[in-house]
């Protein structure tokens, strides 16, 4: 980053204090840092402190006569090699998504000729609000890059979830990959390598993903269109949150998440066996689209078509119900069991029925009917159903859904104050 020009746009929030350390670290790496502060940011960090660290004037006013004589808001954006917005409040994100320019920060961003890196920080409910997620999705579609937010406890009492500003080293790493800073680097998406948000340290999370293949003969099988993208994204998000993750995956054509133990299976029966072998776990997330039936008598050889003969009749028998088997265990049941319901009609009605019949704690339901593009696609729209009601999330990428679900799990475990199973097992092993 030596001699690179960084424009840091700070909006309001308690997380603004992290920017002082960020500026110092960037200066240590030889970067030149200019800062634009919103009026709200100045309530948490003084321009004098920022100026002392940057050795530059801090820009605060759109209508500064001296600066605007040279069209300062245009010059600020054009002279920077990269723009970082941190912390980015819900208000500033909304302004960016809707093209507002009523202060210096929003004017600079609107006048910029390069996409910024945005690091959100806000209350979890504000982050998960449909309006905020809609604005984030719009900005991502426009080419804006995001890092975070992390999951954890908030400044407000008894508040936890996604909303914390990512830590300074992660901000610098993400910034170093921005075009204009690292020549030839690929544009970053909101990848889990940037989302080291914590909250599940010391816990074991078990995830199932993908379809199952139920053989008819050595060549043919019964399957479904599940790609495994959502389950794999959840496993990656849980790993990024600090958990030890076991991913039991059916046949998929996507890469394994980094840092995750992957157990590959073909059939529903093999998946159940692998799940039971992986127990105990603190959290079980059953995202796999498990086939409901398998063929009673599998052909030892390829079943041949016989001229003039009727097609063979396939007798189907039920597969084991993995979700119900684990959720109703008397011993070794995970503290939190999350099931998935892929429906094509009456999504919430079927999800509530499944919640009641399976014995799990949450059901994550989605509409996979023709035309939604969910099966095999990169986006998802889900409803989290639990006793007492449900929360419907906006259309998001499957990575965003995974991050949001892990954030909700972190918040739930913090609320319940569940002791990590692995820590408890470690104490017993040491005789404590």
- 224 catalytic residue (yes or no): yes
Residue-by-residue DSSP string for 152-174: EE-SSTT-EEEEEPPPHHHHHHH
Pick the catalytic residue from 135, 158, 224, 380.
224
Distance CA 36, CA 75 (A): 12
- Alpha-helical runs (H) found in 241-321: 268-278
- Residues 420/427, Cβ–Cβ less than 8 Å: no
- Residues 109/85, Cβ–Cβ less than 8 Å: yes
Strand, coil or helix: what is 38? coil
Pick from 143, 141, 140, 160: which is nearest to 152 by CA? 160
3-state helix, strand, coil in the chain (%, to 5): 35, 20, 40
Cis peptide before 149 (omega within 30 of 0): yes
Block residue for tokens 């059939």: 267
Alpha carbon 377 to chain centroid, angstroms: 16
Q: Which two tokens mark 330?
A: 């008397």
Pick from 376, 381, 377, 385: which is nearest to 358 by CA? 385
Catalytic center residues: 224
């Amino acid at each position: 980053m030596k001699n690179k020009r960084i424009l840091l746009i700070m909006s309001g929030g308690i997380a603004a204090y992290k920017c002082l350390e960020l500026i110092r670290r960037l200066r240590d790496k030889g970067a030149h840092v200019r800062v634009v502060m919103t009026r709200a940011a100045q309530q948490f960090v003084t321009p004098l402190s920022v100026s002392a660290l940057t050795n530059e004037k801090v820009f605060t006013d759109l209508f500064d006569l001296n600066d605007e004589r040279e069209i300062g808001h245009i010059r600020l954006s054009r002279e920077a090699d990269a723009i970082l917005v941190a912390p980015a409040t819900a208000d500033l994100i909304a302004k960016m998504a809707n093209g507002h320019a009523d202060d210096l920060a929003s004017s600079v961003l609107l006048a910029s000729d390069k996409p910024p890196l945005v690091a959100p920080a806000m209350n979890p409910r504000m982050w998960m609000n449909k309006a905020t997620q809609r604005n984030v999705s719009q900005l991502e579609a426009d080419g804006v890059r995001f890092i975070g937010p992390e999951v954890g406890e908030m400044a407000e009492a008894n508040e936890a979830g996604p909303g914390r500003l990512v830590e300074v080293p992660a901000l610098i790493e993400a910034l170093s990959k921005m075009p204009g800073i690292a020549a030839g680097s690929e544009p970053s998406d909101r990848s889990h390598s940037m989302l080291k948000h914590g909250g599940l340290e010391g816990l074991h999370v078990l995830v199932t993903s993908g379809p199952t293949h139920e053989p008819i003969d050595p060549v043919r099988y019964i399957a479904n269109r599940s790609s495994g993208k959502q389950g794999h994204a959840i496993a990656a998000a849980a790993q990024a949150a600090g958990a030890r993750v076991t991913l039991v995956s059916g046949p998929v054509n996507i890469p394994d998440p980094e840092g995750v133990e992957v157990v590959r299976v073909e059939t529903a029966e093999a998946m159940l066996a692998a799940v039971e072998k992986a127990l105990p776990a603190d959290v079980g997330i059953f995202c796999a689209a498990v086939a409901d039936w398998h063929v009673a008598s599998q052909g030892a050889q390829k079943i041949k078509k016989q001229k003039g003969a009727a097609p063979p009749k396939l007798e189907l028998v039920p597969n084991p119900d993995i979700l119900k088997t684990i959720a109703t265990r008397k011993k070794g049941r995970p503290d939190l069991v999350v099931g998935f319901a892929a429906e094509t009609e009456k999504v919430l009605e079927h999800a509530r029925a499944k919640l009641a019949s399976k014995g799990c704690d949450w059901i994550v339901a989605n509409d996979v009917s023709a035309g939604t593009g969910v099966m095999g696609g990169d986006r998802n729209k889900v409803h989290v159903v639990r006793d007492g009601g449900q929360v419907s999330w906006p259309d998001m990428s499957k990575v965003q859904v995974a991050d949001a679900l892990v954030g909700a799990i972190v918040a739930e475990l913090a609320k319940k104050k569940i002791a990590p199973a692995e820590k408890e097992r470690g104490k017993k092993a040491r005789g404590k």
